[in-house]
Each structure stands twice: as C-alpha cells, then as structure tokens.
Amino acid sequence: MASLRELGTDQKMFWCPGCGNFGLLNGVKRAIARLGLRRDQVTAVTGIGCHGKTTNYLAVNGFHVIHGRVLPVATAIKLANKEQTVIGFAGDGDAF
C-alpha cells in the first residue's frame, strides 16, 4: 500500500501558482492511498499540455502519449492487464 509521501517524486513542479492540476494530483494521490493500491498496480496515462507533467510528479507507472491518444492507450493497458488500475489524464484536445 502506497502512502501519500511515496506517491510523490522529487521532480520540480512547473505548473503555474493556483493551477487546478495541483488539486487534481493531490486528489489522485489520496485516492490511490485510500484504495490501498501499491505503486506498481497503477498506471497513469497523460496527453500533451500542462497535465502531461503529471506522470513526472506521480510515482506510478506512466505513459506520456501524443495528442488525442490518452483513451486508446489507457484502454489498451487495461485490456492487456485487467488487474492494473489505469488513470487517464486528458485535456480538451485529448478528449474531444
């Protein structure tokens, strides 16, 4: 089971002060910890844009993919390993 501290990294944050990504990252860390998941049981998939740095700041398996491919890649990971918890971070360009 991963703690909040273990889910963080030593990477310098480049998000702007007041950015909503801080709250999103914090919420995801809390959810992973509360669900009692180990870091190796979680994969984060991010697209382009500011949220794409999430895989640098979250100490789980991570994929940074090209524009518009978050959902297909996240789906493929889940199909390949049904036990894996997969979280997709997508902006408006990735999701439309």
- pLDDT (average), residues 22-39: 97
Q: Which two tokens stand for residue 1?
A: 């089971």
Q: What is the pTM of this model?
A: 0.91
What residue spans define the domains of the chain? Answer: 19-95
Supply the DSSP string of 56-96, one letter for each residue: HHS-SEEEE--TT-HHHHHHHHHHH-TTSEEEEE--HHHH-
Q: Phi, psi (5° rounding) for residue 50? A: -60, -40
Which CATH number describes the domain made up of 19-95? 3.40.50
Average pLDDT on 33-41 reads 97
pLDDT more than 70, % of the chain: 99
Query: 59-88: per-residue pLDDT in tens?
Result: 999 999 998 899 999 999 999 999 999 999
Give the pLDDT score at 77: 98
